[in-house]
Amino acid sequence: MKVLNIGSMNLDYVYQVDHIVQPGETISSGGMNIFLGGKGMNQSIALAKAGVEVYHGGMIGEDGQPFLDACKEYGVKGEYIRKVPGKTGHTIIQIDKDAQNCILLFGGANQMLTEDYIDEVLAGFEKGDILLLQNEVNNVAYMVDKAYEKGMQIALNPSPFDSKLDAVDMSKISIFLLNEIEGGQITGLSAPDEILADMCKRFPNAKIVLTLGSDGAVYAEAGKTYHQPIFKVQAVDTTAAGDTFTGYFLAGLVEGMPIEDILKMSAKASSIAVTRQGAVPSIPYRKEVEEALQTM
Ligand code: RIB
């Protein structure tokens, strides 16, 4: 079983601020760093650091070489990544003194995926392989349809949630990884237990992971639910916490681990990521996650 992730690559311009800037306000930042990120690349790196062989697909611009270098460094298979004229996607991220963030996204090359390119990438995969998707690239609905036709298992992190997802046939999704807000947008509900129950009713054959911020995460499959609390830590930057959880969760599924262990490993990996700055550099290796689990 191979894992393919077709997803975004963003240069994250991260600014430390006292508070998130308000409309009409000008504030000074306390510092700025550029990190590699993008939900897609973060999740591929999390999968690779967890020990899974993962192929990454997507587009970078002329300034995107650092992503190819990162794939080499962390063991992500980057041969499907294409360089196109123009700019790589980027973000402006503000991190406040309580480690909360807000993110402004510029799609750039992430929005240039053509149907021909998608067909070319999917040709390397077959029935039973996993396709992981988020919503920071274009043509998500097309990828879902084509991968489903091939019999691939599709894991969707519908983030950021927007109207482009209306075109996606969600009944073709095997694994949902979403937070309360995204769950609310799909179901129209707000209480987490109602969201989960409604998702299970709508997608009875899917595995569903609903992350609940400081209340941890819940998982449901075939009428059974499991709850995983968070591991409390002093957070400095929550960027990529969800991506780390997603990558580790899929890694556990690929390995056939018991669900309770998958959830615990994913929560621990995510709790380590938030103690570090940046997206890609904050994601821990499997060895570190396992050592931390043993010392509990
Ligand atoms: O999920 C975190 C990611 O969201 C950041 O790395 C940023 O690039 C945005 O895509």
Going from the Cα of 189 to the center of ligand 1, the distance in angstroms, rounded, reads: 25
pLDDT recorded at residue 136: 98
Using alpha carbons, select from 215, 250, 247, 240 the residue that is nearest to residue 230. Answer: 215
**Residue 15 structure tokens:** 């600014």
The atom of ligand 1 lying closest to the CA of 93 is: 7
Going from the Cα of 159 to the center of ligand 1, the distance in angstroms, rounded, reads: 10
The confidence band for 223, taking pLDDT boundaries of 50, 70 and 90, is confident
Which residues have CB under 8 Å from 67's CB, separation 6+? 9, 36, 41, 60, 78, 81, 88
Q: Partners of 6 in the beta sheet?
A: 57, 133
Q: Partners of 33 in the beta sheet?
A: 14
Residue type, position 264, single letter: K
Using alpha carbons, select from 87, 66, 89, 86 the residue that is nearest to residue 78. Answer: 66
DSSP calls for 212-247: -GGG-EEEEETTEEEEEPPPP---S--TTHHHHHHH
Over range 64-90, report the average pLDDT. 98
The confidence band for 106, taking pLDDT boundaries of 50, 70 and 90, is very high
Mutational test site, ligand 1, from 95, 136, 177, 178, max ligand atoms within 8 Å of CB:
136
Rg of the chain taking only CA atoms, in angstroms:
18
Share of the chain above pLDDT 90, in %: 97
pLDDT in tens, 31-53: 999 999 999 999 999 999 999 99
pLDDT in tens, 180-193: 999 999 999 999 99
Over range 254-278, report the average pLDDT. 98
**Residues 120, 42: contact at Cβ < 8 Å?**
no
Share of the chain above pLDDT 70, in %: 100
What average pLDDT is seen over the chain? Answer: 97
List domains and CATH numbers for the chain. 3-8+38-88+109-294 (3.40.1190.20)
Under DSSP, the state recorded for 88 is P
pLDDT recorded at residue 35: 98
Over range 61-68, report the average pLDDT. 98
Going from the Cα of 37 to the center of ligand 1, the distance in angstroms, rounded, reads: 5
> Tokens 């077709």 appear where?
6
Decide if pLDDT at 235 tops 80. yes
**Residue 291 structure tokens:** 């050592």
> b/e string for 57-68 if b means 16 or more Cβ within 10 A?
bbbbbeebebbb
Decide if pLDDT at 296 tops 80. no
Under DSSP, the state recorded for 44 is H
pLDDT recorded at residue 164: 95
Query: Which residue's alpha carbon is nearest to atom 6 within ligand 1?
Result: 37
